[in-house]
Structure 1
Amino acid sequence: MENIKFIEIIPSDFKEIYSIEKKAYPIPWSEKIMASMMEGNEYKIKITYYDKIVAYVFMMVVLDEATVLNITVDPEHQGKGLGRKLLQYVKTELSKKGIISIFLEVRESNRNAFALYESEGFHEIDLRKNYYPTKNGREHAIIMACMLMNG
């Protein structure tokens, strides 16, 4: 996709990002949690396509580790490689900042995301049982890690 840009998320992006969050997940982050992430000090990047937000990521960075808190592609733009581009971008940028490892959790049922993360160098390191809420109970989270190459 041409005409995409990687830009830091700013508080005025809230409405557009929260709209994507609600479309993308059966149980999205609450408006309150999303608002606090928008205002917080997390590492947060959006992808714009012709100035419209189509994907975003929120990450917590502590010392030389980063954790993906939320990575989302607008359902209307899924399947175009945007999730991969966003992951590759943050891996490159965080590596430049001296980050050594990235962690994330993925729903056990989300095989497409799991396959993407695996293809981008993430490995399964643990299982967090009954972590994610579902319409009918809870499901496990697969914890994954990726070591970044620095220098």
Structure 2
Amino acid sequence: MNLQTSLLNEIYYENTLNLIRKSNHDFSWSDKLIYETFKNKNNIIFGLFNDKNLIGVSLYLFTLDEAELLYITLSKDFRNKGLAYYLLEDNIKILRQKSIKSIFLEVDITNLFAIKLYEKLNFKNISIRKNYYKYPNGKTSDALIYQLRIED
């Protein structure tokens, strides 16, 4: 594999949209909202490329010296290979260079793979939002809030 992480701009909107729709059928954002994420100056979007093929994306919102991981996904063919770790590790390095001091995220308490990934990267659970996620079947699930301090 020939991996590279890059910042994405709106030129990559279609590729990003296709990757998200193919990798996560339950992702609730509209196409318009995804496009607006590219246009918002308070967002940072990273792409993970294998050669020249976009295989992963991570979307962040930042304010002052804090960033929030809004979403991360990998192409189904590239999952379970340590690439989400690789992508996030690169994101953290780049965000540190941009003077970001903390990264926050929320994750469904049932998403054990993601929780394990975040804890491996030293994110710390700082809070819980009870019944935060609401599912079409009427069930709810708690959200765990994580933080990573990346100050030098």
Q: What is the rounded CA distance, in whole Å, between the counterparts of 1:69 and 1:79 in structure 2? A: 21
Residue 76 (1) aligns with residue 77 (2): yes
**Structure 1: which 5+ residue stretches go unaligned?**
none
Number of matched pairs: 149
Query: Could you tell me how far 1:52 is from its partner in structure 2?
Result: 0.8
* Runs of 4 or more consecutive aligned structure 1 residues displaced over 2 Å after TM superposition: 23-26, 129-135
Report the identity percentage. Answer: 28
C-alpha contact 2:68 2:103 (8 A) present in aligned 1: yes
1:139 aligned residue? 141
**RMSD (Å) for aligned C-alpha atoms:** 1.5
Cα 1:133–1:22, aligned 2, differ >3 Å: closer, same or farther?
farther
Letter in 2 for 1:145: Q
Q: What is the rounded CA distance, in whole Å, between the counterparts of 1:21 and 1:128 in structure 2? A: 25
Q: What is the rounded CA distance, in whole Å, between the counterparts of 2:68 and 2:57 in structure 1? A: 14
C-alpha contact 1:101 1:146 (8 A) present in aligned 2: yes
Q: What is the rounded CA distance, in whole Å, between the counterparts of 2:131 and 2:6 in structure 1? A: 34
Query: Could you tell me how far 1:53 is from its partner in structure 2?
Result: 0.6
**Range that drifts further, 139-148 or 18-27:** 18-27
Match of 1:91, SS state, is helix
Letter in 2 for 1:7: S
TM-score (norm: length of structure 1): 0.90
Query: Could you tell me how far 1:39 is from its partner in structure 2?
Result: 1.9
TM-score (norm: length of structure 2): 0.90
Query: Could you tell me how far 1:81 is from its partner in structure 2?
Result: 1.3
Query: Could you tell me how far 1:147 is from its partner in structure 2?
Result: 0.9
Cα 1:142–1:26, aligned 2, differ >3 Å: closer, same or farther?
farther
1:55 aligned residue? 56
Match of 1:46, SS state, is strand
Offset from partner CA, 1:83-140 (integer Å, 9 cap, x none):
1011111111111222111100111111000000001010111112232343423322
Cα 1:22–1:39, aligned 2, differ >3 Å: closer, same or farther?
same
Cα 1:21–1:131, aligned 2, differ >3 Å: closer, same or farther?
farther
Residues 30-69 of structure 1 aligned to structure 2 (within 5 Å): 30-41=30-41, 42-69=43-70
Offset from partner CA, 1:41-94 (integer Å, 9 cap, x none):
211110111211101111111111111011111122111111101111111111
Match of 1:136, SS state, is coil
1:4 aligned residue? 3
Q: What is the rounded CA distance, in whole Å, between the counterparts of 2:36 and 2:145 in structure 1? A: 24
